[in-house]
Structure 1
Amino acid sequence: MVCTLCLCGFPDERVAIAEMYRVARPGGRLLLLDHIGSHHKLIWWGHRLLEKLMVRMLGDYQTRRPLPLVKEAGFIVERAERLKAGTVERLSARKPTGVAD
């Protein structure tokens, strides 16, 4: 399953990731790309200010971190990388085999 730049639009991204886990077949892969809060403080503060406006206008969150939530949901993260001054995260994860929901 592929999810690109869409978790930022969910009011509760935990629910969306839990649903991805539920519908994935055992051994199924999740490829995720989303914008996140940068590890550079100045960029993070800029995104945080922008987020306040974007959430009101479009419901678009800029500073979330899906990686810990993907792990918490039960996926096994095979690869994760941060790009673009830490503002974009790309990851590949797999649902463990032998797990049924």
Structure 2
Amino acid sequence: MISWEDFEKIDMRTGTILEATVFAKARKPAYQLSVDFGELGIKKSSAQITVHYTPEELVGRQVIAVVNFPPKQIANFISECLVLGIYDANNDVVLLSPGKPVPNGLKIG
């Protein structure tokens, strides 16, 4: 169990994917994403979401991400946020997204 204070430490925000490219140097199939979080700016993320999505269909898609993790180096790429998803029956990720279009950068709570 976590406390409410623990939950409040996690900064989850809405964002829109601006770019998605194949991450050729990743050990597991992944994409490199650029995500617009409004006033928080554009952040990069590495996401293992290649089973359910193509780069083309990701551009313009709204997502939910954790934006206050420290940057993490993955191969030659610095990931600045964690795009959130649900593991399906095959352990492949299905992205979480708002049910309706919302402004980028809104806080999840």
Shorter-normalised TM-score: what interval?
under 0.3
In the superposition, the TM-score normalised over structure 2's length comes to 0.25
Higher relative CO (CA 8 A, sep ≥ 6), structure 1 or 2?
1
TM-score, normalisation: structure 1: 0.26
* Richer in strand (by share): 2
More helix by share: 1
